[in-house]
Structure 1
Amino acid sequence: MGENKLVLLPSPAVGHIITMVEMGKLLFRRHSDTSAAHFSITILLPGPASAPAVDACIKSVEASGLDIEFRRLPRVDPPTDNDGPEDFTSLLMQKLMPHVKYAVADIQRLSAAPVAALIVDFFATGALDFTRELGVPCYVYFTTSAAFLALMLYLPTLHENFPMEFEEMEEAVHIPGVCPILPLSMPAPFMSKKSGRYTCFVHHGRRFCELDGIIINTFAELQPETLRAVEKGLCVPGRWMPPVFPVGPVLASHVDGGGASNGRLRRHECLAWLDEQPAGSVVFLCFGSRGSFEAAQVAEMAKGLERSGHRFLWALRVASLKEAELVMRQPEEPSRLEEVLPKGFTERTKGRGMVLASWAPQADILAHLAVRGFVTHCGWNSCLESLWFGVPMLGWPLYAEQHLNAVVMAEDIGWDNLKAF
């Protein structure tokens, strides 16, 4: 039994679960380098969240021998009255809080060691309602960029000072430490202040000042000015700013160029296909666990890829599920591809193109020498993986904070700054 116990609580979104697990593994690696003291981690899995990427991640941890265990929380009825995936996730995590409290208290009761900290997803600040009672410090793990953290912290101030809708503002939105953001590039959930999607972010932004600390998936060399502004409290005027701990980039540590973890996991078929392609010849298109397109869009994208003459690997999802449902599971509809792709497309592009209708091992693909470009939704995990492997990005932001990420990557970070490290 570990001398200290950490409890981690991700939200049910695929990207949030994986990066939380990887952050736990990172804590193990860094802690073992600096201290002989031992600790163990319990990761609380919310509800029925399951996807191939999550399953592969869990199997990788279980095969690693690390002192990390998974505990699935009881299922709760998903909220039916919500304004979209962010509001859905926030309400779902709040409904789970009694079970989270019981799990943390149970871990304390069964363990000879205290729970040193509860680290929660940024949609789960409701844990602050009971952590003081249990005597457990509460931290948030912020899975996206320092720019979005600055915006969330500053959002209550913006809300008070600018009551109009962002799209009605005539000038750019100014956030301490962040380049000016055009109103239409603000995160999609913020575009209607009457929606639950917006008010849940205002709520969580206020509660961040009650935390014992904020752990964030970025690093000082990538976003120095933004992190300085956040740490100095410029984003929370008149309020206390908890300490910030940049621990990024948090990437899938099982990546070894072969797409398997020490040979224990089956190598994805697309990697064998990439092995047959010339170095630097393939463009990879992937839009995250929730990124999907209508049939008409898919048809136009297919025509463009076919006419380009270039090699491509396309992870494609077709819109069909309600947006909130995509938080709970990762859609896989291979049978629908034939319905939306142009007739004969697969045959005409055979040999130089491959379409995946299910989960793709994104980090392994970006690490492959055959891949030269990445068409991405600009999710933060994708941005970090692309930077890590040196693959140029073409941004196609779709939802959440992805428009903000695209602006920050182009304006705040930029190629000149990237060359510095």
Structure 2
Amino acid sequence: MIDRSMAAATIVFLPCWESGHFMSMVAAGKRMLDASGGALSLTVLVMQAPTAAKAAEVDSHVRREAASGLDIRFLNLPAVEPPTGYVAPEEFNFRYTQLHAPHVEEAVAGLSSPVAAIVVDLFCTPLLDAAAELAVPRYVYFASTGAFLALMLRLPAFREDLTAKLRETEGTVHVPGLPPVPLPYMPACLSGDKIGNYEWFEDYGRRFMDASGIIINSSIELERGVLAAIADGRCVPGRPAPTVHAIGPVIWFAAREQQPPHVCVRWLDTQPPASVVFLCFGSKGFVDRAQVGEVAAGLERAGHRFLWVLRGPPAAGSSNPTDADLDAMLPGGFLTRTQGRGLVWPSWAPQKEVLAHPAVGGFVTHCGWNSTLESLWFGVPMVPWPLYGEQHLNAFELVTAMGVAVPMKSMDGSKVESFVGAAELEQAVRGLMGGTEEGRKARDKAAGLKAACRKAVAEGGSSDAALRKLVSEISSGGGAPPP
């Protein structure tokens, strides 16, 4: 029998299969390993994703990270049969995750190393109790904003009033630490057609309160107000919230391989500094042909240089966009008329390399938090175009709390339209790139937050201090197990 007391302690991670969650969590784990100075190892329990496409994505991430040489072990959990009869998407995720509980217990029991802590993704909280008998600290990794965390913690208190208002376009919601949030900026995952989602997000928020702590991909410099509100008990009155460890920005940078620069990067090399507006809508971002026509018209009329990552519709049974057929999707003659000042790229593009390029001066983004952090890291101001998830709330923060974005006028708080007309996009791009007072302020704020983000994670910064305190707590066994 292996003497577990003689092996180096390990932190067990349980990530979600979505790439933005999976890689953010692994990147956070690597930061924790580095801060531990070799005192800890990392064990990642990998659930098989519910679709073949997602499973292939996760497999590629695992292969790459397993070859990194770091002290990370990836253990694949047995497959489970996906649930049926669900109504809301989050109901499926909750039930699918919960089915892995016995496999998690078996995997943890079979580890040769003592378990110092268990960390679960915000969407994997049904597994917090899977290894309860271990009596070790259990943490939640929150890959989104402090604002969304504050809202989720408040959902039980909001239930009676908010669920009746989610389809309305007037009124505001008080999220502790933020200015009053107009109802249209409430997360689409709460206010969409599947109102049943509210119940599942509410349950997640309740479970966060039973964790030893919450590790969040944010920083005091980015979200001082909402993080203070959580710490002060304003989100769940009468009950102290778990300690929030703000260790962000956590950004995953792949090891650079010896290969030629991407086509998009080579094109940017030929453009003047800060002259290009970059349009990209994330791993799930897709707009239909009618919307593509409006974007094309807006870019053509705005007159600025652009790099547009345009994806095609998802294949049957998938939520991921495909490579675009540019001839079929773009208006006739558009590529000819914009030749030289614009590039439409129909496939995956290296977003971090693009945002890091000195030719890029603005970013039209879906406001996914990973994309937002990358833009802030490189000091690129934004035009928000939220599509799904919590992105509407992220857009509100970018405009009102951080001041790093120029909003489209159709997203003025009285309504938030997912369909954007050519004139709206033209005006926003001109405002961001053309030297208006609003654009200058956004650029100045973005430059300031670029410096603040880098200072936060540097030695002695706020996020570095939070990370080292967290790792010390875990290493010493000082983190109290949840009650």
TM-score class normalised by the smaller sequence: 0.7 to 0.9
Deviates more, 1:205-214 or 1:265-274: 265-274
Q: Does residue 40 of the first structure (1) align with residue 34 of the second (2)?
A: no
1:30 aligns with one of 29, 35, 47:
35
Deviates more, 1:18-27 or 1:273-282: 273-282
Structure-to-structure mapping, 1:208-227, within 5 angstroms: 208-227=208-227
1:99 is displaced (CA, Å) by 2.7
Q: What are the equivalent positions in structure 2 for 1:113-192 lying under 5 Å apart?
A: 113-160=113-160, 162=162, 164-168=164-168, 171-191=171-191
SS of the aligned residue for 1:355 comes to strand
Q: Which residue of 1 aligns with 2:330?
A: 341
Q: Which residue of 1 aligns with 2:281?
A: 287
Distance 1:312 1:165 in 2: 39
Offset, 1:219 = 0.5
Indicate the residue corresponding to 1:257 in structure 2. Answer: none
Secondary structure (helix, strand or coil) at the match of 1:210 reads: coil
CA shift for structure 1 position 80: 4.4
Match of 1:258 in 2: none
Letter in 2 for 1:129: D
1:401 aligns with 2:390: yes
Q: Structure 1 stretches of 5 or more lacking a match? A: 255-260
Aligned to 1:382: 371
Aligned mates of 2:292, 2:163 — CA distance in 1 = 38
CA deviation vs aligned residue, 1:359-412 (integer Å, no higher than 9, x gap): 222111101111111000111111111111011100001111111111111112
* CA 86–63 in structure 1, closer or farther in 2 if over 3 Å, else same: same
Flag the 1:369–1:54 CA change in 2: closer, same or farther, 3 A: farther
RMSD: 2.8
Match of 1:99 among 103, 113, 117: 103
Q: Distance in 2 between matches of 1:139 and 1:377?
A: 29
State the Cα distance separating 1:60 from its structure 2 match: 4.8
* 2:131 partner SS: helix
CA contact (8 A) 2:285 2:366 kept: yes
Is 2:11–2:40's contact at 8 Å kept on the other side of the alignment? Answer: no
Q: Counterparts of 1:102 and 1:224 in 2: how far apart (Å)?
A: 40
Q: CA deviation at 1:316?
A: 1.8
Once the two structures are overlaid, the 10-residue window that deviates more, 300-309 or 289-298, is 300-309
Work out whether residues 212 and 242 of structure 1, in 8 Å CA contact, stay in contact via their aligned partners in 2: yes
Q: Following TM superposition, by how much is the alpha carbon of 1:192 offset from its aligned partner in structure 2, in angstroms?
A: 5.8
> What TM-score, normalized to structure 1?
0.86
Pairs aligned (count): 403
Match of 2:298, SS state, is helix
- Structure 1 distance, partners of 2:259, 2:28, is 21
Quote the offset at 1:345 in angstroms: 3.1
Judged with a 3 Å threshold, the aligned counterparts in structure 2 of structure 1 residues 217 and 171 are, in CA distance, closer, same or farther, namely same
User: Take 2:308 and 2:393, find their aligned partners in 1: how far apart are those partners?
Assistant: 24
Instruction: Give the direction of change, closer, same or farther, for the CA distance of 1:204–1:367 in structure 2 (3 Å limit).
Output: same
Work out the CA distance in 1 between the residues paired with 2:63 and 2:343.
27
Q: Distance in 1 between matches of 2:339 and 2:64?
A: 33
Q: After superposition, give the CA deviation of every residue in 1:13-51 in whole Å (9 maximum; x if it has no partner).
A: 22111211211121122223xxx5242333524424648
Deviations 1:183-212 (A, max 9, x none): 111111222697332111011111111111
Residue 245 (structure 1) shift: 0.5
Q: What is the CA–CA distance in structure 2 between the aligned matches of 1:58 and 1:271, rounded to whole Å? A: 26
1:170–1:370 distance in 2 versus 1, CA, 3 Å: closer
* Cα distance in 2 between the residues matched to 1:282 and 1:104: 49
Structure 2 equivalent of residue 233 of structure 1: 233
1:3 maps to what in 2? 8
- Residue 345 of structure 2 aligns with which residue? 356
Larger Cα-atom Rg = 2
Identity of aligned residues (%): 48
**Given residue 203 of structure 1, which amino acid in structure 2 is its aligned partner?**
D
